[in-house]
């Protein structure tokens, strides 16, 4: 299976249909520029924002936007990095998982509706699964696969080797699939999960 090929229009439409009954609101844009503009509209002024480590958010320009401070939101990462005491910084990181808006991506999404997210530390998983009221996933359509087993296979055969090499290139020992979240549906009232599909190859 080619893991870096954009999904067909039929596959995209199928995903958008099947995730709705699972409590996920799907949207579609054609370009990363459109994705960035959509995020600006989805997040209200003054909202608390936290992000997971995400190549996709970097590639669409959202990370640079946060770093520029030229935005109307309260960025948790600015608060965390401003704290130099390690113990206090760790406590802020724990609090940030309940950020009003949490943004990131997923590593695979099946045409049957399941989203799969792998993590080494697990830092983004509480927000995805429960603690953040609003979760926005920005996902290149090359991450769409036929079924759940293909999604897990994509993580192990494609995503992990690329992320492992990336971490080693930065001087770290490498990465691990320490935690694996299979997001099947949202049942908690008051939570909003948005899946923003982008018709470009983004992230791993």
> Tens-digit pLDDT profile for the chain (204 aa)?
789 999 999 999 999 999 999 999 999 999 999 999 999 999 999 999 999 989 999 999 999 999 999 999 999 999 999 999 999 999 999 999 999 999 999 999 999 999 999 999 999 999 999 999 999 999 999 999 999 999 999 999 999 999 999 889 989 898 999 999 999 999 999 999 999 999 999 999
Question: Could you tell me the CA-to-CA distances from 142 to 14, 29, 51, 74 in Å, in that order?
Answer: 14, 14, 21, 31
| Beta-carbon-side half-sphere exposure of residue 1 (alpha carbons within 13 Å) | 19
Handedness of CA 201, 179, 131, 147 (dihedral sign): positive
- In the numeric block, the tokens 């960035």 are attached to 36
| CA separation, residue 144 to residues 26, 178, 181 (Å) | 13, 22, 16
Instruction: Please give the pLDDT value at position 2.
Output: 86
Of 116, 122, 112, 114, nearest in space to 153 by CA? 116
CA distance 109 to 126: 19
User: Mind listing the pLDDT tens digit for each residue in 15-66?
Assistant: 999 999 999 999 999 999 999 999 999 999 999 999 998 999 999 999 999 9
Asked whether the beta carbons of 150 and 16 are under 8 A apart, the reply is no
Q: How high is the pLDDT of residue 17? A: 98
pLDDT at 174: 87
Q: Which CATH class name applies to 9-198?
A: alpha beta
The pTM (predicted TM-score) of the whole model is 0.96
| H-helix segments, the chain | 9-19, 32-42, 55-59, 62-68, 76-82, 86-96, 125-126, 148-154, 160-169
Closest CA to 191 of 106, 126, 117: 126
- Give the domain ranges of the chain: 9-198
**Cα 43 to Cα 73: distance, rounded to the nearest angstrom:** 8
CA atoms within 13 A on the CB side of 174: 9
Determine the pLDDT at residue 172. Answer: 87
């Amino acid at each position: 299976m080619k893991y870096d090929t954009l999904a067909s229009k039929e596959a995209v439409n199928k995903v958008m249909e099947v995730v709705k009954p699972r409590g996920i609101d799907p949207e579609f844009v054609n370009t990363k520029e459109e994705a960035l503009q959509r995020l600006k509209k989805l997040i209200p002024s003054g909202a608390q924002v936290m992000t997971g480590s995400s190549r996709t958010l970097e590639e669409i320009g959202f990370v640079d936007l946060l770093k520029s401070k030229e935005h109307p939101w309260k960025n948790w990462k600015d608060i965390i990095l401003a704290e130099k005491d390690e113990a206090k910084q760790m406590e802020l990181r724990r609090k940030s998982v309940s950020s009003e808006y949490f943004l990131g991506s997923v590593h695979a999404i099946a045409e049957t509706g399941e989203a799969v997210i792998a993590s080494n530390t697990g830092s983004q998983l509480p927000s995805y699964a429960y603690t953040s009221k609003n979760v926005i996933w920005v996902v290149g359509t090359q991450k769409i696969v036929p079924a759940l087993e293909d999604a897990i296979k994509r993580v192990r055969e494609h995503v992990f080797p690329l992320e492992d090499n990336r971490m080693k290139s930065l001087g770290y020992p490498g990465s691990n699939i320490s935690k694996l979240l299979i997001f099947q549906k949202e049942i908690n009232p008051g939570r909003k999960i948005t899946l923003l599909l982008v018709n470009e190859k983004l992230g791993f």
